Amino acid sequence: MAFELPALPFSTNALAARGMCQETLELHHDKHHQAYVTALNGFVAAKPELQGKSLDEIILAVRGDAALAPVFNNAGQHWNHILFWNNLSPKGGAIPTKLETKIKEDFGSVETFKEDFKKAATSQFGSGWAWLVLDPSGKLVVTKTANGSNPLAENQGTTLLGLDVWEHAYYLDFRNRRPDYVTNYLDKLANYEFAEAQLSAA
Ligand code: MN3
């Protein structure tokens, strides 16, 4: 069973008024994400030992294996983008109560959480991701990973939010201004309802 590109949970112009234009979403979802899925399916078709495995199982099976880095990169990017589309929202930016309480408990304040997240997202040199995860001890922490890696591959815990900081994610909307893209995400696009559901399910 081949992996498939999931449909966006909103229309491609749904985020335009909030800082992510239709062209960004069309290129990012229809071209970039599709390319990862196509490449992953090609690798799996050529490797019987990967067939029948779930996406999570493939990531865990090939991580750290230099010879299988192309499989890891494309599987990781498929996983990351599935999450990413779900943590963007046309009604983003509002933090529901249960999550807000937990953020205040673990970071001290919402502002500190946002500062930590901005620091991680802007200090990730080159391509990668910034994450809000529930770590194995039950505490919310901000992390970052390079290229196609993610909290699953690095045993960081349960992922609540992930922000793509590859240039293709923000260059049409924010050009070189990654910090503005991150701030806009946290204030206007982040689907904290989704993050709270992940927290509740953990
Ligand atoms: Mn991307």
Please enumerate, by residue number, every residue annotated as part of a binding site. 28, 81, 164, 168
Rounded to the nearest whole angstrom, what is the distance from the C-alpha of residue 91 to the centroid of ligand 1? 21
pLDDT digits (tens, 9 = 90+) for 106-116: 999 999 999 99
Can you read off the two tokens belonging to residue 155?
């045993």
Instruction: Render pLDDT for 22-78 as a digit per residue (tens, 0 to 9).
Output: 999 999 999 999 999 999 999 999 999 999 999 999 999 999 999 999 999 999 999
Which pLDDT tens digit goes with each residue over 120-154? 999 999 999 999 999 999 999 999 999 999 999 99
pLDDT of residue 62: 98
Q: How far is the CA of 75 from the centre of ligand 1 (A)?
A: 13
For residue 80, the CA-to-ligand 1 centroid distance in Å is 8
CA–centroid distance, 48 to ligand 1, in Å, is 28
pLDDT digits over 160-180, tens only?
A: 999 999 999 999 999 999 999
C-alpha of residue 105 to centroid of ligand 1, in Å: 31
CA of 115 to the centre of ligand 1 (A): 22
Residues annotated within the binding site for Mn(2+) are 28, 81, 164, 168
Q: Which domains does the chain have, with CATH numbers?
A: 21-86 (1.10.287.990), 97-201 (3.55.40.20)
Concatenating the DSSP letter of every residue in the chain gives: ----PPPPSS-TTTTGGGT--HHHHIIIIIIIIHHHHHHHHHHHHH-GGGTT--HHHHHHHHTT-GGGHHHHHHHHHHHHHHHHHHTB-TTTTPPPHHHHHHHHHHHSSHHHHHHHHHHHHHHS-SSEEEEEEE-TTS-EEEEEEETT--TTTTT--EEEEEEE-SGGGTHHHHTT-HHHHHHHIIIIIB-HHHHHHHHHH-
Amino acid 1: pLDDT: 74
Higher-pLDDT residue of 54 and 1 is: 54
Distance 51 CA to ligand 1 centre (A): 25
Please state, in angstroms and rounded to a whole number, the distance separating the CA atoms of residues 153 and 17: 34
Beta bridge partners of residue 133, listed in sequence order: 141, 159
